[in-house]
Amino acid sequence: MEHRQAAEKPPVNLLRGWPNPSLLPVAQIKAASAAALSQPDVSTPGLLYGPDPGYEPLRKGISDWLSRFYRLPYPSNPNRICITGGASQNLACLLQVFSDPLYTRFIWQVSPTYFRVCPIFEDNAFHGRLRSVPEDDEGIDVDFLRLRLQAADDDDISTKGVRRLSWVKAQKSID
């Protein structure tokens, strides 16, 4: 039996999470852009600041697709969908709304984690407060997280004199 050495292929770099350029839907985006920009009732609001969660018909379409694709026993709620420029932007927006570096004690994240999240947390004044949670066969290790959250509540991290920002819905821990 003759052993043939497989042609050496360069490794696939999964670090950035970028798709192969051949998968980019250039023609479809060009056609959709032309169609949207030719309709003032779509183009005008589309080129202005839109609603915070994103374009409602798009959120509804995504919601419907999620319900069909995952065969959900109940309809997906479009009000739970937020359109952003990507994971990094969405994470920064969540931190601005739900955290306060003077109040939020820790950031809990699965390990291993998306490589861009740590600098985002650190840029938002959470340096030294990132905590790791392992995953098991079913996803995040809930028992581990529960124990660590309870221990974190017992930590003597002073919040005396902390003035919370009135417009922020700050959380003690973000997981």
AA identity, residue 98: F
b (16+ CB within 10 A) / e for 46-56: eeeeeeeeeee
Cβ-in-10-Å burial (0-12, 13-18, 19+) of 66 comes to middle
Confidence of residue 89 (pLDDT cuts 50, 70, 90): confident
pLDDT above 80 for 79:
yes
AA identity, residue 152: A
Q: What is the pLDDT of residues 9-25, one digit of tens each?
A: 777 666 666 778 899 99
Q: What mean pLDDT do residues 33-47 have?
A: 91
The set of residues, in sequence order, having a beta carbon less than 8 Å from that of 92 and lying 6+ positions away, is 120, 124
Q: Is the pTM of this model over 0.75?
A: no
Q: What is the pLDDT of residues 120-168, one digit of tens each?
A: 888 888 888 889 999 888 889 999 999 999 888 776 555 454 455 555 5
Question: How high does pLDDT run on average in the chain?
Answer: 82
Q: How far apart are the first and last CA of the chain?
A: 54
pLDDT above 60 for 43:
yes
Beta strands per DSSP E along the chain: 106-110, 130-133, 135-136, 139-140, 173-174
pLDDT value of position 137: 86
The set of residues, in sequence order, having a beta carbon less than 8 Å from that of 62 and lying 6+ positions away, is 78, 81
pLDDT value of position 166: 52
